[in-house]
Chains A and B, each alone.
Chain A
């Protein structure tokens, strides 16, 4: 029997396993193939709603489904903490001593916002990139009395449009709370323009000044002084704040470190086309966990899942598994209360500007519901 093990039941791991269960249904039913997902929680979380939770526009229950209910019934689910990947013996060793052998391993462990990577940030700042932190920020916003609200963006980070969306949403929110005149929204970005995607940066260049949002580019937060309420950048600039919201530098997961599979940031060296771990024929990596120089976003994991599942199914049926990932990414961008736009690009084609429209905004709202079909491998 061929055993396929997926380490991580987020967007990437769930999609690959469901696609495999559909493509290899006959082999699974004959007992020739087994697909197993390892996930530390029995809950599947739709992370894009964290942004809305910070503004009390969504609650955790809106983002939760039982992982079992999202997986195809032919996929086996193991709930627990993986201690490490044992490549010598082709098995995943769990913290409770259990071992899960594999013939093919798919690593989809994602990334984590690392507030500890900027000294003082844990004590002095907030974020909305996890559920707990989004709820803490919700409380901080509710008690905010006005002042300087600084949004600072670190490198690397997932969901590259969320910092812009948060900045515009918090500006709207402050106005709606009657705090617009006593507050100043400040936005910092690591490189020399307001967003890495040039069409988005051009758009932000118009809308941020029009809304009175103060901007600082080439700003990578290096330290935070929680007592003085200041943050200082690697580039030597110091800003004061009353409420600090960070999109902190991210890191790979600890299980990657314990397994010795990652670089210094715990990102796994991965072939950008085959999505195989470098030097490993039977290990695939997708989503945030790779070191591929591409957006860490759900859509990236989605398009990569198509490649990984096709190649695995193909190889199990005697093929060469030669389908290649072309770097495709697609992102919605909310540009206001009732309009949105999108960008798409790949390794060969840069993003082109698209006019915002209400239709795209409505589609984005619809996708927040349709995500579950996407995770199920249907959409």
Chain B
């Protein structure tokens, strides 16, 4: 887990989990893997949708006790 950048966006309604991910992706190098934690069910849909559009990759996605954990690799 040490080489994964955690983005703990639980309880974030504004700016929200996706914007927290975009912020992190902008500031880290290509190849970095991020794990976003979100308490918003919508993240399971809108994060993968943006990741595809922006040319990155969803590595893993799971839900545990109401927390959505989505891993994303920065590809470009």
Which residues of A does B touch, CB under 8 Å? 117, 155-156, 160, 190-192, 196-197, 218, 220, 234-236, 249, 263-265, 272, 293-295, 327, 329, 345-348, 350-351
Contact = CB atoms under 8 A, between A and B. Distances in A.
A190 B46 CA distance: 12
B9 interface: yes
A220 B11 CA distance: 24
Interface of B: 7-20, 22-23, 26-28, 46, 49-50, 53-55
Contacts of B27: 263-265
Among B9, B13, B49, B54, residue most surrounded by chain A Cβ atoms (within 10 Å)? B13
B22 A196 contact: no
A220 B20 CA distance: 13
A294 B12 contact: yes
B14 A196 contact: yes
Nearest to A220: B22
18 contacts: A155-B15, A156-B19, A160-B14, A190-B19, A192-B50, A196-B16, A196-B19, A197-B14, A220-B26, A235-B50, A235-B54, A236-B55, A263-B27, A293-B8, A293-B12, A295-B14, A345-B14, A347-B12
B23 A156 contact: yes
Nearest to B50: A218
Contacts of A350: 13
Given A192-B46, A249-B26, 7 more contacts: A155-B19, A220-B54, A264-B27, A293-B11, A293-B16, A346-B11, A348-B11
A369 B23 CA distance: 34
B15 A295 contact: yes
A347 B53 CA distance: 29
A191 B53 contact: no
Among B12, B26, B27, residue most surrounded by chain A Cβ atoms (within 10 Å)? B26
A197 B16 CA distance: 9
B72 to A, nearest CB: 13
Contacts of B22: 155, 190-191, 220
Nearest to A292: B12
Contacts of A351: 13-14
A117 B26 CA distance: 9
Nearest to A218: B53
B50 A327 contact: no
Nearest to A237: B53
A160 B53 contact: no
Contact of A191 (B8, B10, B26, B50): B50
A225 B28 CA distance: 24
A235 B53 CA distance: 5
A26 to B, nearest CB: 38
A156 B11 CA distance: 17
A327 B19 contact: no
A192 B26 contact: no
A280 B27 CA distance: 24
Nearest to B16: A196
Contacts of B12: 293-294, 347
A235 B25 CA distance: 13
Contacts of A197: 13-14
